[in-house]
Structure 1
Amino acid sequence: MKSEFNYELKPGIKVRFIQSKQFKSVQMMVSFIHELKNKRELASRTLLAGILESSSAAYPNQHAITLKLAELYGATFGANTEVEGNLNLLNFVYSFVAPEYLKAGQSLLDESIDFLNQIIFHPRMEKGMFKPEVFERQRMNLKTYIQGIVDNKQSEALVNVQRSYFDDPIQQNTPYGTETDYQELTNQDIVAAYDQMLRRDQVQITVMGDLDLDFLKHSLSKFEFQESARETLHEICYSQAVKNQVKVQTKNESVQQSKLDLIYHLPIDAHQDRMFYAAVVMNAFLGGSPQSLLFQNVREKASMAYYAESSYSSLRSMVLIQTGIQATNHDSVLTLIKEQIAALQQGDFSVEQLAKIKIELINERQRMQDSPASNLEQAVLSELLDRPLDYKTQRNGIQAVTKQDVVAAASQLKLQTEFFLKGEMANGNY
């Protein structure tokens, strides 16, 4: 049994507490939420998260942090960034043993809040700047990580198809920015990003576990948040106008496996109710499950792809199709993909097939309920969208989708971009 409580700690700082005995640990996420203004902020906020995660004034290195977490009976901690539509979330994620599993009267809540407070509000600084060695180490780590993304050909194809499709430079890039951004960022830039985060970001504190509400409120009040004029968040969902001309781009590289990626515009976002679930089911039917048309007909029956899958982004109103193929099969695979979409648009599938897809989606969401991390992420997204995303709501939404709904969703797909990473063999043949 779960109970939910929502309140405002200070203006612009919201708390969502999900009281539950489901897990043996208490999960906590402190999210600093910012509406992105330029693509460089992707890198600056990612680098900031890495710096704050690695040390603080009280815990000057990773070893000191590890020792403190061990003292707290194996508590876990991490910081990360994520992009949700137009928004960037800089998250501090923490979990600790629930009071029920400690000695009578013992709780780790106050110590945990103190630890997070030290990490967030008291970083390791020197003369108003982050410690130079910490800044440089994290900057180099992220440059290496970004280079690894580029070296992965599936990721390279994804970045290229996004750059071709999106009008907004922020959406064109990885959620972590570019290697060039990290080369150009200075210590002063990250200090400015940190100041922006503390003073201007909206804050969402999400807590899930078996705690006393009054005790939690008292502990959270110890966070050193300052009252300030925090930014107003506008629309979380990104959208852009559909185009009549399909962009086609080919890049030749010396790789054995070619990549064919497509992006379709789908004007159905996470704010819509019935059609949102219709789009979720339609995508699963198209290429989002092992029972999907792309998997069964392109990969298995035709043996035309090493992988063939689709994903639906309700925060960016698009469906992405990714395939790994032989270069010589490009035209055949493209034709097959379009045939699968046409089948959905024309209702050329049985209600029995649809029922299997829906059962698979519901089972997947039921399995997610056993993951503390998934529950926490779901709660944060629910707050951002201001709509319920609990298991029962999602189950009912999926169950209500009809064959006509799937046809209606598929009929709104419009191909916008095709990117082909064409593999060239050593002998010069493709």
Structure 2
Amino acid sequence: MKSEFNYELKPGVKVRFIQNKQFKSVQMMISFIHELKNERELASRTLLAGILESSSAAYPNQHAITLKLAELYGATFGANTEVEGNLSLLNFVYSFVAPEYLKAGQSLLDESVDFLNQIIFHPRMENGMFKPEVFERQRTNLKTYIQGIVDNKQSEALVHVQRSYFDDPIQQNTPYGTETDYQELTNQDIVAAYDQMLRRDQVQITVMGDLDLDSLKRSLSKFEFRESARETLYEICYSQAAKDQVKVQTKTESVQQSKLDLIYHLPIDAHQDRMFYAAVVMNALLGGSPQSLLFQNVREKASMAYYAESSYSALRSMVLIQTGIQATNHDSVLTLIKEQIAALQQGDFSAEQLAKIKIELVNERQRMQDSPASSLEQAVLSELLARPLDSATQQNGIQAVTKQDVVAAASQLKLQTEFFLKGGMANGNH
């Protein structure tokens, strides 16, 4: 049994409290939400999250933070950034033992809020800048991480196909920015990003667990949020018009396994109800499951791919298909992929196939509701979309999808971009 409470802590700072006894811990996420204006913000906000996560004035290094978390009976903490459609979320994620599992009368709520307040509002500064060694260490770590993405050929192909497809430079990049961004960002840039975050960002505080509402309100009121004019959030879902001409790009590298990636425009986003779930089921049937057409027909029966999968982004109105293949099989694989999509559009799949896919999707949702982290992320996204996304709602939406719904969703797919990372000895682009 759970109850939900929503209120505004300060203008632009919203609280959503999901009161339940499902988990032995209390989950808390503080999300600073900003509509991205340029691609460089991807890197600056990611670097800022890394700096704030690693130290503060009260906890000057990772060791001090670890000791404090141990003192709080093994509380967990982390900071991260994510991109949801047009929005950037800089999250502080925290969990601690629920009062029920402590000594009578004991609660970690006040101490937890104080810890997070120190981390968020009292960073480790020196002469108005972040501690130089902290800044440099985090910047180096992220440059290395970005280089690792580029060195992974599956990730490299994904970046290339996104750059070919998206009109918006923000959507073209990884959610963490580029290596060039990290080389150019200065300590002063990150201090400015931090100040803007505190003044400008909308804030969503999501708390889930067995707590007393009045106690929670008293504790959260201790956060030092500024009284400022925060930006109004606009549309979370990114969209762009479909184009009539397919972009085709090939890059040759000395790699053994070639990558063929495609992006299809699908004008169904997360705001739509019935068709959103139809698109979810359609994607699972296409390539989002071991029971899917791409997996069964391209990878297993034809033995034409090392992997063949699809993913649907309801926040970007697109379906991405990724395959790992032999370069000589390019034309055959492309034909097979198009045949699987045509089969969905023509309803050439059985009721049994559809039923199995729906059962698999429902089981996934049931497993997600048993995960505190997944439940928390679901609650935050639900708030941003202003629509219910709890496990029961999603299961009902999936179960209601018919064969006709899947055909209707598949019929709206329109190929936009092909990128082929071709294995070979020569280097170059075409």
CA shift, 1:392, in A, is 1.2
Aligned to 2:420: 420
CA shift, 1:424, in A, is 1.2
Alignment of 1:202-351 (within 5 A): 202-351=202-351
Alpha carbons of structure 1 residues 332 and 203: separation in structure 2 relative to 1, 3 Å: same
How many Å separate the matches in 1 of 2:161 and 2:48?
A: 28
How many Å separate the matches in 2 of 1:429 and 1:278?
A: 38
Unaligned 5+ runs, structure 1 = none
How many Å separate the matches in 1 of 2:410 and 2:315?
A: 17
Alpha carbons of structure 1 residues 179 and 24: separation in structure 2 relative to 1, 3 Å: same
CA shift, 1:174, in A, is 0.1
Alpha carbons of structure 1 residues 86 and 427: separation in structure 2 relative to 1, 3 Å: closer
Alpha carbons of structure 1 residues 176 and 106: separation in structure 2 relative to 1, 3 Å: same
Alpha carbons of structure 1 residues 22 and 383: separation in structure 2 relative to 1, 3 Å: same
Alpha carbons of structure 1 residues 390 and 156: separation in structure 2 relative to 1, 3 Å: same
1:267-312 CA distance string (max 9 Å, x none): 0000000000000000000000110000000000000000000000
Q: 1:34–1:88: 8 Å Cα contact kept in structure 2?
A: yes
Runs ≥4 residues deviating over 3 A: 425-430
**Paired residues, number:** 430
Alpha carbons of structure 1 residues 427 and 178: separation in structure 2 relative to 1, 3 Å: closer
- Whether 2:176 is the aligned partner of 1:176: answer yes
Q: 1:200–1:228: 8 Å Cα contact kept in structure 2?
A: yes
Which SS does the other structure have where 2:373 is aligned?
helix
1:193-214 CA distance string (max 9 Å, x none): 0001001000000000000000
How many Å separate the matches in 1 of 2:423 and 2:100?
A: 57
Which SS does the other structure have where 2:294 is aligned?
helix
1:205-246 CA distance string (max 9 Å, x none): 000000000000000000000111000111000000100000
Q: 1:304–1:333: 8 Å Cα contact kept in structure 2?
A: yes
How many Å separate the matches in 1 of 2:7 and 2:429?
A: 64
CA shift, 1:425, in A, is 5.4
How many Å separate the matches in 2 of 1:381 and 1:416?
A: 28
How many Å separate the matches in 2 of 1:208 and 1:49?
A: 22
Q: 1:13–1:202: 8 Å Cα contact kept in structure 2?
A: yes
Alpha carbons of structure 1 residues 429 and 85: separation in structure 2 relative to 1, 3 Å: closer
1:354-378 CA distance string (max 9 Å, x none): 1111010000100111110000000
Which SS does the other structure have where 2:79 is aligned?
strand
Alignment of 1:21-420 (within 5 A): 21-420=21-420
Alpha carbons of structure 1 residues 429 and 37: separation in structure 2 relative to 1, 3 Å: closer
How many Å separate the matches in 2 of 1:386 and 1:75?
A: 30
How many Å separate the matches in 2 of 1:42 and 1:220?
A: 28
How many Å separate the matches in 2 of 1:35 and 1:426?
A: 41
1:101-124 CA distance string (max 9 Å, x none): 100000000000000000000000
Q: 1:157–1:420: 8 Å Cα contact kept in structure 2?
A: yes
Q: Report the TM-score, using the length of structure 2 for normalisation.
A: 0.99
1:329-375 CA distance string (max 9 Å, x none): 00000000000000000000111111111010000100111110000
Q: 2:298–2:308: 8 Å Cα contact kept in structure 1?
A: yes
CA shift, 1:28, in A, is 0.3
CA shift, 1:391, in A, is 1.1
CA shift, 1:428, in A, is 13
CA shift, 1:427, in A, is 13
Q: 1:256–1:425: 8 Å Cα contact kept in structure 2?
A: no
Which SS does the other structure have where 2:288 is aligned?
coil
CA shift, 1:72, in A, is 0.3
Alpha carbons of structure 1 residues 404 and 60: separation in structure 2 relative to 1, 3 Å: same
Q: 1:257–1:327: 8 Å Cα contact kept in structure 2?
A: yes
How many Å separate the matches in 2 of 1:66 and 1:46?
A: 21
1:129-187 CA distance string (max 9 Å, x none): 10111101100100000000000000000000000000000000000000000000000
| Overall identity of the aligned pairs, in % | 94
Which SS does the other structure have where 2:364 is aligned?
helix
1:395-422 CA distance string (max 9 Å, x none): 1100110000000000000000000000
Q: 2:253–2:427: 8 Å Cα contact kept in structure 1?
A: no
Between 258-267 and 349-358, the greater mean CA deviation after superposition:
349-358
Alpha carbons of structure 1 residues 429 and 321: separation in structure 2 relative to 1, 3 Å: closer
How many Å separate the matches in 1 of 2:216 and 2:300?
A: 53
CA shift, 1:250, in A, is 0.3
CA shift, 1:426, in A, is 9.5
Alpha carbons of structure 1 residues 364 and 141: separation in structure 2 relative to 1, 3 Å: same
Which SS does the other structure have where 1:27 is aligned?
strand
Q: 1:59–1:65: 8 Å Cα contact kept in structure 2?
A: yes
Alpha carbons of structure 1 residues 162 and 427: separation in structure 2 relative to 1, 3 Å: closer
Which SS does the other structure have where 2:162 is aligned?
helix
Which SS does the other structure have where 1:159 is aligned?
helix
Q: 2:305–2:324: 8 Å Cα contact kept in structure 1?
A: yes
Alpha carbons of structure 1 residues 96 and 423: separation in structure 2 relative to 1, 3 Å: same
CA shift, 1:429, in A, is 16
Alpha carbons of structure 1 residues 258 and 13: separation in structure 2 relative to 1, 3 Å: same
Which SS does the other structure have where 1:59 is aligned?
coil
CA shift, 1:22, in A, is 0.6
Q: Report the TM-score, using the length of structure 1 for normalisation.
A: 0.99
Q: 1:343–1:349: 8 Å Cα contact kept in structure 2?
A: yes
Unaligned 5+ runs, structure 2 = none
How many Å separate the matches in 1 of 2:401 and 2:163?
A: 33
Q: 1:282–1:410: 8 Å Cα contact kept in structure 2?
A: yes
How many Å separate the matches in 2 of 1:12 and 1:113?
A: 19
Q: 1:382–1:388: 8 Å Cα contact kept in structure 2?
A: yes
